[in-house]
Chain A
Amino acid sequence: MTPSRRLIAAAVIVAVCLPLALIVFVSGAPDATGQQAAATGEQQLPVRLDPIKPRTPTGMTADEAIAAHENATEGPEQPIPFNHRFHTQELRMQCEYCHGGSDRSPIAVMPALDLCMGCHRIVGANLEPIQRLRGYYDSGEPVPWERVYKLPEFVQFPHRAHLRSQVECEECHGKVEEMDRVYKFSSLKMGWCLDCHWQPGEDTDVATDRLLTEQFPPPETPDERQPIGLYPRRLNEHYGANRGPIDCSACHY
């Protein structure tokens, strides 16, 4: 009667291992995220306003850029084949040039068509996509860019807080300067958020607040106040307080 034997043996093993497996998993879960987070924590983040590390331009031409966007496989194809790699690497443009204001707003600011035309009235005016861009501008229609990142309504995500805490654009959006066509770099799932917000050994957001009381008494005049984006890092370095709240109500309300 070996078949039944085997069945039973298997059943017994499962039953005994279940609790152990569970214990390992549950206790393991935070650790796992922790290691990742620690990893990102150790690597020295560039100060936000530094330029993107100059890379040797690959000598890509505008036509190549357009082709590269159209031939790219990942991410949605855009109505105008805008090539991020080309603009950031070849032309050395900064994220903030087009997406400035994100550090003052809960949402990421999309460049106005006006801004594009600032250059493209002249630059590449003869290119077909640029002419289409021109067409939009003249007809007074906005460009219907394809959305790449979309959070559900029940998540309140302040870009501003993250930028001012010196979270790099690329931590969430990836190396956009190497994308011919922007694709969704991160899952935006809650666990993914917690990878950063959850720092084992580090203290939670309330501790940040407490430390503020001790370390940063309200200055008399506004101009004496901490330069934007500086204090959270100092808190991290000096007191190991975390990067953000893990409190549900910080994002869900």
Chain B
Amino acid sequence: MATAEIEVPTQELPSLADANRDISRPISTPYRRYWLLLGICGVLIAAAGVAWALQIRDGMGRAGINNPVNWGVYIVTFVFWVGIAHSGTLISAVLYLVRSGWRTTINRTAEAMTIFAVMTAGLFPLIHLGRVWYFYYLVPYPSTRLLWPNFRSPLVWDMFAIGTYFTISLVFWYLGLIPDLAGLRDKFTGLKKRLYGVFSLGWQGTVKDWSHYRRLYLYLAGIATPLVLSVHSVVSWDFAMGIVPGWHSTIFAPYFVAGAIFSGIAMVITITIPLRWAFGLDRYITKYHFDNMAKLLLFTSLIVGYSYGMEYFLAWYSADPIEMQSFLWRGTGFYAGPFWIMVFCNVVVPMSLWFKATRNSLKALFVISVFVNIGMWYERFVIIVTSLAHEFDPSAWHVYTPSLTELTILVGSFAWFFFWFLLFAKTLPTISIAEVKEHLAHEHEHGH
């Protein structure tokens, strides 16, 4: 039981009222800095929007992709964001199931991240579609053609997996929010009261209600856990189901899931550190939480590194010339750069987390997490692009370099993500007040 170990001296324990006040303090009229950030995001999003519009007008040719390399930055970024989306539900659900208390103060942020990351990822399948104005062909609806989607296609699985993941995450997140919304309802007056009132559905926290609430929360955590695993497995199958050398591998599902958690945790760290600083939540998000996240980061980094090695081992052991040549080229050919960036960021850098000093230094942690984010984007790039560039028929080999359009949309996707996150940070409690209070209450009990 991690609960007992919170290394916050008792006398510093905030009272339940403090919790309400501190955590909902940021929900107030923002400073100019905030508007500035929001504005920057808006501009970048607009730029990406223009880029996409032009691409729809002229054709996919505006992207850099070509005949052997039919998937490029768009799919890379799609997988990247789906990966980011995974930490949220993992921290909330899995850690909830295993009763590791340190999740309490970060699960809200992580879940919000999940929602926004999926919202970002979900755009990319549309952006990369050659004829996006016919996207509804993918939707199972009764049409005069009597035609339906092909449910044998991994892309359709993907659509259902992502859709389910988004919905369940949203429910999970919202359910957790309801009691806090009620708190805000009681705190504010006027329009704000009205708004929070509507969304809190008239929650008044009777013990009966709490019992239903806890039950569902448990169930959601229970189904979300296999869901997390399934979603990124399905995403990995977009590749593993193909026969492309470098894709067609059974280790892909676990490999991708580990990678997803890896990148997700990294993103949580990247976000919570500035958040904690900006909103002065030092008393709630403590070194202890970061230490645990760092350990998780280290652990997943080891899994990812192992997978990299394993891919090469399998290729070598298969004695299949095509596999061997493909992987040899991956590390030495045109894309050696991205490959080694990937290895450095994902395997070498995180090794520093073996040392407690690094784990406890927020600066170091922040830098490392950023490295991991970059590395994980490159991992997807390496997997997708290098495999396609050198396929079975050598005469068809051709390489790919991203175009300006693709990069604009890539940057725009980050802006889009942070745009939503900024809105969230200013309108909703970034920490689950109710759960914090539950903890504090127990602490006080112990204290007495």
Binding site for B on A (CB under 8 A): 25-26, 29-30, 33, 187, 189-192, 194, 198
* Ranked 5 nearest A-B pairs via Cβ: A191-B144, A190-B145, A189-B144, A194-B146, A191-B146
Instruction: Please give me the residue from chain B that is nearest to A28 by CB atom.
Output: B142
Interface residues in B141-168 by Cβ distance below 8 A to A read 142-147
The docked-state distance in angstroms from the alpha carbon of A29 to that of B140 is 14
Interface residues in B109-144 by Cβ distance below 8 A to A read 142-144
The docked-state distance in angstroms from the alpha carbon of A194 to that of B143 is 12
Tell me what chain A mostly uses at the interface: helix, strand, loop, or mixed: helix
B276 shortest CB reach to chain A, Å: 39
A188 shortest CB reach to chain B, Å: 11
A11 shortest CB reach to chain B, Å: 14
Given contacts A190-B146, A191-B145, 4 further A-B contacts (CB under 8 A): A26-B142, A187-B144, A190-B144, A190-B147
Chain B neighbourhood of A189, CB < 8 A: 144-145
> Can you name 20 A-B pairs with beta carbons within 8 Å?
A25-B142, A26-B142, A29-B142, A29-B146, A30-B146, A33-B146, A187-B144, A189-B144, A189-B145, A190-B144, A190-B145, A190-B146, A190-B147, A191-B143, A191-B144, A191-B145, A191-B146, A192-B144, A194-B146, A198-B146
Chain B neighbourhood of A25, CB < 8 A: 142
B213 shortest CB reach to chain A, Å: 16
Chain B neighbourhood of A198, CB < 8 A: 146
Chain A neighbourhood of B143, CB < 8 A: 191
For chain B, the bracket of interface size reads under 10
The docked-state distance in angstroms from the alpha carbon of A189 to that of B147 is 13
Chain A neighbourhood of B147, CB < 8 A: 190
The docked-state distance in angstroms from the alpha carbon of A30 to that of B147 is 11
Instruction: Please give me the residue from chain A that is nearest to B140 by CB atom.
Output: A22
The docked-state distance in angstroms from the alpha carbon of A29 to that of B142 is 9
The docked-state distance in angstroms from the alpha carbon of A192 to that of B147 is 13
Chain A neighbourhood of B145, CB < 8 A: 189-191
Instruction: Please give me the residue from chain A that is nearest to B143 by CB atom.
Output: A191
Residue interface mask B251-293, A partner, CB < 8 A = 1: 0000000000000000000000000000000000000000000
The docked-state distance in angstroms from the alpha carbon of A189 to that of B143 is 10
The docked-state distance in angstroms from the alpha carbon of A26 to that of B141 is 10
Chain A neighbourhood of B144, CB < 8 A: 187, 189-192
B304 shortest CB reach to chain A, Å: 40
Interface centre among A30, A33, A190 (most CB of B within 10 A): A190
Residue interface mask B67-78, A partner, CB < 8 A = 1: 000000000000
The docked-state distance in angstroms from the alpha carbon of A198 to that of B146 is 11
B2 shortest CB reach to chain A, Å: 38
Chain A neighbourhood of B142, CB < 8 A: 25-26, 29
Instruction: Please give me the residue from chain B that is nearest to A198 by CB atom.
Output: B146
B141 shortest CB reach to chain A, Å: 10
The docked-state distance in angstroms from the alpha carbon of A187 to that of B147 is 17
A20 shortest CB reach to chain B, Å: 15
Interface centre among A25, A192, A194, A198 (most CB of B within 10 A): A194
Chain B neighbourhood of A194, CB < 8 A: 146
The docked-state distance in angstroms from the alpha carbon of A29 to that of B143 is 10
A204 shortest CB reach to chain B, Å: 14
The docked-state distance in angstroms from the alpha carbon of A29 to that of B147 is 11
B212 shortest CB reach to chain A, Å: 13
Chain A neighbourhood of B146, CB < 8 A: 29-30, 33, 190-191, 194, 198
B279 shortest CB reach to chain A, Å: 35
Instruction: Please give me the residue from chain B that is nearest to A191 by CB atom.
Output: B144
B338 shortest CB reach to chain A, Å: 40
Instruction: Please give me the residue from chain A that is nearest to B201 by CB atom.
Output: A4
The docked-state distance in angstroms from the alpha carbon of A191 to that of B146 is 6
B31 shortest CB reach to chain A, Å: 40
Instruction: Please give me the residue from chain B that is nearest to A187 by CB atom.
Output: B144
The docked-state distance in angstroms from the alpha carbon of A98 to that of B146 is 36
B166 shortest CB reach to chain A, Å: 18
Instruction: Please give me the residue from chain B that is nearest to A248 by CB atom.
Output: B147
Chain B neighbourhood of A187, CB < 8 A: 144
The docked-state distance in angstroms from the alpha carbon of A190 to that of B144 is 6
Instruction: Please give me the residue from chain A that is nearest to B144 by CB atom.
Output: A191
The docked-state distance in angstroms from the alpha carbon of A194 to that of B146 is 9
Chain B neighbourhood of A192, CB < 8 A: 144
The docked-state distance in angstroms from the alpha carbon of A26 to that of B149 is 13
The docked-state distance in angstroms from the alpha carbon of A219 to that of B428 is 83
A24 shortest CB reach to chain B, Å: 11
A105 shortest CB reach to chain B, Å: 27
The docked-state distance in angstroms from the alpha carbon of A191 to that of B143 is 8
A5 shortest CB reach to chain B, Å: 14
Instruction: Please give me the residue from chain A that is nearest to B147 by CB atom.
Output: A190
Instruction: Please give me the residue from chain B that is nearest to A30 by CB atom.
Output: B146
The docked-state distance in angstroms from the alpha carbon of A198 to that of B147 is 13
Chain B neighbourhood of A33, CB < 8 A: 146
Instruction: Please give me the residue from chain B that is nearest to A190 by CB atom.
Output: B145
Instruction: Please give me the residue from chain A that is nearest to B145 by CB atom.
Output: A190
The docked-state distance in angstroms from the alpha carbon of A198 to that of B142 is 17
The docked-state distance in angstroms from the alpha carbon of A33 to that of B146 is 10
The docked-state distance in angstroms from the alpha carbon of A29 to that of B145 is 11
A72 shortest CB reach to chain B, Å: 28
The docked-state distance in angstroms from the alpha carbon of A194 to that of B142 is 15
B168 shortest CB reach to chain A, Å: 15
Instruction: Please give me the residue from chain B that is nearest to A246 by CB atom.
Output: B146
B137 shortest CB reach to chain A, Å: 13
The docked-state distance in angstroms from the alpha carbon of A190 to that of B145 is 5
B45 shortest CB reach to chain A, Å: 35
The docked-state distance in angstroms from the alpha carbon of A25 to that of B143 is 11
Interface centre among A26, A30, A187 (most CB of B within 10 A): A26
The docked-state distance in angstroms from the alpha carbon of A189 to that of B146 is 11
A35 shortest CB reach to chain B, Å: 15
The docked-state distance in angstroms from the alpha carbon of A189 to that of B144 is 7
Interface centre among B142, B143, B145, B146 (most CB of A within 10 A): B146
B140 shortest CB reach to chain A, Å: 9
The docked-state distance in angstroms from the alpha carbon of A33 to that of B147 is 14
